[in-house]
């Protein structure tokens, strides 16, 4: 893992950053060019080549800057000036505070009514596809269902827990959800003012009880 869950115990930062006016424009988007550049981000061999490809991807389009964190200097980008679901932008902003640039996946990547993931998470030479989930339920089975529905679209999920669910019930929900989602490899979790990056094996093992506070 890029970041140990044990080290991810800093309190979630207060939102401090730049929010531009909402009167920007929807950019004209060349999906063919985007997918071609994106392929290099994943296919290049060396870390330096991948980082160069990512920089080119971000520089080749006039992305709308939705947010920039003043401390980390990480940003949230999208092809449009507003995100349909407010909780997705809220979670994206929180990710910038943890050192990730966030690029919302262009709508043209998907067929009408289809959505396989929400964002690209970027850190250095690493770019990852991920789905976003904001979960307000307090029951393990419902959390597992939300994880399962997200895992049907993406192999990596970013989950923001916005309820006061107990630690035990949350862990139970994570375990059940992972067990039901064979292709899910990782969960990035915001819970109780802390941030965790949890691999599949960590969630399934007993170690999870010592990781989540």
Enumerate the domain spans of the chain.
Answer: 66-211
Strands 156-161 vs 126-135: parallel, antiparallel or unpaired: parallel
Which candidate, 207, 208, 202, places its Cα nearest to that of 170?
208
At residue 30, the pLDDT reads: 85
**Is residue 93 very low, low, confident or very high in pLDDT (cuts 50, 70, 90)?**
very high
Contact 161, 187 (CB under 8 A): no
**207: Cα separation from own chain's centroid:** 23
In the sheet with 194-199, reading across from the earlier edge strand, the strands are: 17-18, 64-69, 75-78, 101-104, 119-123, 126-135, 156-161, 186-191, 194-199
Mention every residue, 6+ apart, whose C-beta is less than 8 A from residue 3: 197
pLDDT recorded at residue 48: 94
CA distance 16 to 130: 24
**Residue 5, pLDDT above cutoff 80:** no
The answer to whether 117 and 105 are in contact (CB under 8 A) is: yes
pLDDT in tens, 114-141: 668 999 999 999 999 999 999 999 999 9
**Helix extents (H) in 60-166:** 86-96, 140-151
Summarised one tens digit per residue, pLDDT across range 138-191 is 999 999 999 999 998 899 999 999 999 999 999 999 999 999 999 999 999 999
User: Domain 66-211: which topology?
Assistant: Trna Endonuclease; Chain: A, domain 1 (3.40.1350)
Q: Judge contact between 141 and 114, C-beta under 8 A.
A: no
Residue 8's pLDDT band (cuts 50, 70, 90): very low
Query: What tens digit of pLDDT does each residue of 35-92 get?
Result: 999 999 999 889 999 999 999 999 999 899 999 999 999 999 999 999 989 999 999 9
Which structure tokens are listed for 120? 């690209």
Residue 149: how many other CB atoms lie within 10 Å: 15
For residue 177 the two structure tokens come to: 């959800």
170 strand-pairing partners:
none
Query: Tokens standing for 19?
Result: 């929010």
Tell me whether strands 119-123 and 126-135 are parallel, antiparallel or unpaired.
antiparallel
In 3D space, the residue among 169, 132, 167, 123 whose CA is nearest the CA of residue 151 turns out to be 132
* Mean pLDDT, residues 1-12: 41
């Amino acid at each position: 893992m890029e970041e140990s869950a044990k080290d991810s115990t800093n309190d979630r930062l207060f939102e401090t950053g730049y929010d531009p006016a909402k009167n920007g424009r929807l950019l004209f988007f060349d999906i063919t060019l985007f997918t071609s550049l994106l392929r290099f981000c994943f296919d290049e061999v060396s870390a330096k080549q991948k980082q160069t490809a990512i920089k080119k991807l971000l520089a080749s389009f006039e992305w709308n800057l939705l947010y920039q964190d003043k401390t980390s200097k990480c940003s949230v980008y999208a092809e449009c000036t507003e995100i349909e679901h407010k909780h997705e932008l809220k979670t994206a902003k929180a990710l910038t505070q943890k050192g990730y640039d966030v690029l919302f996946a262009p709508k043209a990547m998907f067929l009408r009514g289809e959505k396989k993931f929400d964002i690209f998470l970027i850190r250095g030479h690493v770019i990852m596809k991920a789905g976003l989930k904001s979960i307000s339920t307090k029951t393990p089975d419902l959390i597992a269902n939300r994880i399962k529905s997200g895992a049907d679209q993406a192999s990596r999920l970013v989950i923001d827990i916005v309820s006061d669910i107990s630690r035990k019930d949350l862990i139970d929900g994570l375990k059940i959800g992972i067990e039901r989602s064979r292709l899910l490899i990782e969960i990035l979790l915001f819970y109780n003012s802390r941030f965790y990056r949890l691999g599949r094996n960590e969630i399934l093992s007993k170690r999870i009880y010592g990781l989540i506070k």
